[in-house]
């Protein structure tokens, strides 16, 4: 009888939840759910400089949007709290003292500059840097002295140097690090906070974590963490899994930096930008903008987003919210992320959370890095939109419309459901919004797409056809889809043309673009009065140009 599985997702609150983090969270969650275990959310906020105040909330919102709910953690509590590391300092101090007392850790007084110099020297000798442990550990009075001199005090863990260290990874097997390969590392910073490598070990122990599933970028930390665990605790180590990294199509790890990078490229590519206006849009100073363009500084996320919108530049989606704003469903994200480095072993691809949970198995994790392919993601979204029940899709659509502030949001549920059904084949929620938008604009808010006007109104007698259609519509007593369809089809026979020749001018007249809901429904839903008004406006506006 094996013990109950306990996993955890331990983000540092430095910003929004990004796809890499979401995937880590998902795999941890899936394993816990699959085995009837517990999934813990722990916030690793031990870096005072990097934490953003709202990040924890954002991360939690995004996890919930994905359907990943934690059993223990912030807002839900649990027996192993608190779940914010910044509230656990006393606990860490206790263990640091223990290590110090047992001579397994020691004080250091080096400055950053001194350490940098040592590192440089090691590199120039083509050796890996390893902190050289003092023969005798400084005592309390040394600490007082150093403090009096204004020196920073840190604590280092004395890593056993005489034996090789072996990390047993569930998917990768045993990984050996040579004796002495892991140098003494800092476990307490000069501000009194523990480092990640320390707090993580203590909390994994206290929270009884059985499986640590994390990115491959943590593999090199593991031997040190294991050594720490053994120095502190007698119970067996948790099991480790280091997942492959998700790489970007631009090469390298998929990173939040890609958005600012893309924006910078976009700014440079355009010659005629009003930089002052741009800075103002992002609510930053022209100097800040300048240093951003030169690659020296990094504005915050709202500034990046605002400037991108101002320029009409599409930034790659990296954060989970980016995908939400691009009209992706949470079901899509969870499905796609799960298949990045894992598969169920048969040819199934489109799966919902329940199916993923049922099929999940650590032994089916892939070792190789995988590339985040947005085109496949789009295909997945198309599938999920197709298979999601309209009522559920309605909820997703509402949330989307609300955040993008769409006029379509004013529609009643019943109408929105009808629209959803008419949008069969949509790839994202953006498609649905775009196709139905014209129904919720005032007549004078219609913007004409130049290309559409040229192609369907100013060519092939578009305006003439539109005039005929207008009169037939005006003459109608009933204004149902069927009557409208009959009339238009009848016209195609008279004129011996395809329906496109007749429908498209009408579509452009009422929508301003060539893309909308199916034409009969479009006209019927808009209603006779507005349809005629829009046609008249169109005829008047473009008659002169013809």
Partner RNA sequence: GGCCCCAUCGUCUAGGUAGGUCCAGGACACCGGGUUUUCAACCCGGCAACAGGGGUUCGAAUCCCCUUGGGGCUACCA
The footprint of RNA on residues 459-518 (CB under 7 A) is 498-500, 503-504, 507, 514-518
The one segment of 9-17, 286-294, 304-312, 396-404 that binds RNA by CB under 7 A: 9-17
Beta carbon of residue 530, minimum distance to RNA (angstroms, whole number): 18
Look at phi and psi of residue 214 and say left if phi exceeds 0, alpha if psi is from -120 to 50, else beta.
beta
44 vs 305, which CB is nearer to RNA? 44
DSSP character string of 44-61: ----TTT--TTHHHHHHH
Look up residue 288 and give its two tokens.
């800040």
Residue count, binding to RNA (CB under 7 A) = 90
The one segment of 256-264, 302-310, 315-323, 380-388 that binds RNA by CB under 7 A: 380-388
Work out which of 54, 87, 111, 395 binds RNA, going by CB under 7 A. 111
350 vs 404, which CB is nearer to RNA? 350
| Footprint of RNA on 68-107 (CB under 7 A) | none
The beta strands (E) that lie in 293-384 are given as 370-371
Beta carbon of residue 435, minimum distance to RNA (angstroms, whole number): 6
Whether 184 contacts 228, CB under 8 Å:
no
Residue 177 found at the interface with RNA (CB under 7 A): yes
Residue 52 found at the interface with RNA (CB under 7 A): no
Look up residue 325 and give its two tokens.
């704003």
210 vs 222, which CB is nearer to RNA? 222
Residue 65 found at the interface with RNA (CB under 7 A): no
Work out which of 110, 322, 461, 530 binds RNA, going by CB under 7 A. 110
Beta carbon of residue 538, minimum distance to RNA (angstroms, whole number): 17
Work out which of 219, 352, 441, 468 binds RNA, going by CB under 7 A. 219
The one segment of 63-71, 118-126, 290-298, 437-445 that binds RNA by CB under 7 A: 118-126
| Footprint of RNA on 278-307 (CB under 7 A) | none
The one segment of 43-51, 259-267, 289-297, 442-450 that binds RNA by CB under 7 A: 43-51
> Tokens 């206290």 label which residue?
206
Distances (CA, A) of 160 to 103, 145, 333, 373, 528: 12, 28, 43, 43, 83
Whether 336 contacts 403, CB under 8 Å:
no
The one segment of 63-71, 136-144, 378-386, 442-450 that binds RNA by CB under 7 A: 378-386
3-state helix, strand, coil in the chain (%, to 5): 55, 10, 35
Residue 382 found at the interface with RNA (CB under 7 A): yes
Work out which of 133, 239, 253, 264 binds RNA, going by CB under 7 A. 253
| Footprint of RNA on 421-440 (CB under 7 A) | 424-427, 431, 435
Q: CA neighbours within 13 Å on the CB side: how many for 350? A: 13
Rounded CA-CA distance 22/333 in Å is 9
Beta carbon of residue 187, minimum distance to RNA (angstroms, whole number): 9
Residue 332 found at the interface with RNA (CB under 7 A): no
DSSP character string of 103-122: TSEEEE---HHHHHHHHHHH
The SS3 of residue 36 is coil
Residue 50 found at the interface with RNA (CB under 7 A): yes
Whether 545 contacts 505, CB under 8 Å:
no
| Footprint of RNA on 187-206 (CB under 7 A) | 189-191, 193, 195-197, 200
Beta carbon of residue 327, minimum distance to RNA (angstroms, whole number): 12
Rounded CA-CA distance 476/478 in Å is 6
37 vs 341, which CB is nearer to RNA? 341
104 vs 311, which CB is nearer to RNA? 104
Strand order in the sheet with 105-108: 105-108, 154-157, 185-188
- Which residues lie across from 212 on neighbouring strands? 240
The SS3 of residue 177 is strand
Rounded CA-CA distance 489/502 in Å is 9
| Footprint of RNA on 233-252 (CB under 7 A) | 244-245, 247, 251-252
CA-nearest of 362, 365, 359 to 344 is: 359
Query: In 342-389, which ranges are continuous DSSP H helix?
Result: 353-359, 374-387
Residue 175 found at the interface with RNA (CB under 7 A): yes
């Amino acid at each position: 009888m094996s013990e109950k599985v306990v996993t955890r997702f331990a983000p540092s609150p430095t910003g929004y939840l990004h796809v890499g983090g979401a995937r880590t969270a998902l795999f941890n969650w899936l394993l816990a759910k699959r085995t009837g275990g517990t999934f813990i959310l722990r916030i690793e906020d031990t870096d005072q400089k990097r934490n953003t105040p709202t990040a924890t909330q954002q991360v939690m919102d995004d996890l919930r949007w994905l359907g990943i709910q934690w059993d223990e953690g912030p807002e839900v509590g649990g027996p192993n709290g608190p779940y914010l590391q910044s509230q656990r300092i006393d606990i860490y101090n206790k263990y640091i003292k223990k290590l110090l007392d047992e001579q397994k850790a020691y004080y250091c007084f080096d400055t950053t500059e001194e350490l940098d110099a040592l590192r440089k020297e090691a590199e120039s000798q083509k050796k890996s840097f390893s902190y050289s442990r003092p023969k005798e550990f400084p005592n309390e009075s040394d600490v007082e002295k150093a403090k009096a001199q204004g020196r920073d005090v840190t604590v280092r863990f004395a890593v056993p140097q005489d034996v090789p260290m072996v990390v047993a990874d569930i998917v990768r097997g045993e990984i050996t690090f040579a004796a002495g390969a892991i140098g003494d590392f800092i476990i307490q910073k000069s501000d009194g906070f523990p480092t990640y490598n320390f707090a993580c070990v203590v909390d994994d122990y206290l929270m009884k974590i059985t499986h640590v599933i994390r990115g491959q970028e943590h593999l090199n930390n593991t031997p040190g963490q294991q050594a720490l665990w053994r120095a502190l605790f007698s119970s067996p180590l948790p099991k480790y899994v280091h997942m492959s990294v998700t790489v970007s199509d631009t090469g390298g790890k998929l990173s939040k930096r890609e958005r600012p990078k893309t924006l910078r490229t976009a700014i440079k590519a355009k010659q005629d930008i009003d930089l002052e206006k741009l800075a103002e849009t992002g609510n930053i100073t022209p100097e800040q903008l300048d240093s951003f363009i030169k690659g020296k500084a990094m504005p915050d996320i709202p500034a990046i987003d605002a400037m991108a919108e101002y320029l009409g530049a599409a930034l790659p989606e990296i954060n989970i919210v980016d995908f939400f704003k691009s009209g992706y469903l949470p079901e899509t994200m969870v499905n796609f992320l799960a298949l990045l480095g894992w598969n169920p072993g048969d040819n199934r691809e489109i799966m919902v959370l329940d199916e993923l949970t049922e099929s999940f198995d650590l032994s089916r994790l892939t070792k190789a890095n995988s590339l985040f392919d947005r085109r496949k993601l789009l295909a997945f979204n198309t599938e999920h939109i197709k298979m999601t029940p309209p009522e559920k899709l309605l909820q997703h659509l509402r949330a989307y419309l609300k955040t993008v502030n769409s006029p379509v949001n004013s529609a009643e549920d019943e109408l929105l459901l009808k629209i959803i059904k008419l949008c069969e084949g949509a790839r994202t929620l953006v498609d649905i919004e775009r196709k139905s938008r014209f129904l919720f604009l005032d007549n004078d808010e219609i913007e004409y797409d130049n290309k559409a006007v040229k192609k369907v109104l100013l060519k092939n007698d578009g305006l003439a056809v539109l005039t005929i259609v207008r009169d037939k519509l005006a003459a109608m007593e009933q204004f149902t889809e069927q009557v409208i369809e009959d009339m238009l089809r009848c016209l195609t026979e008279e004129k011996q043309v395809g329906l496109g020749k007749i429908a498209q001018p009408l579509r452009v007249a009422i929508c301003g673009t060539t893309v909308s809901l199916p034409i009969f429904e479009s006209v019927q839903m808009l209603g006779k009065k507005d349809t005629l008004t829009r046609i008249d406006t169109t005829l008047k506006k473009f008659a002169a140009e013809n």
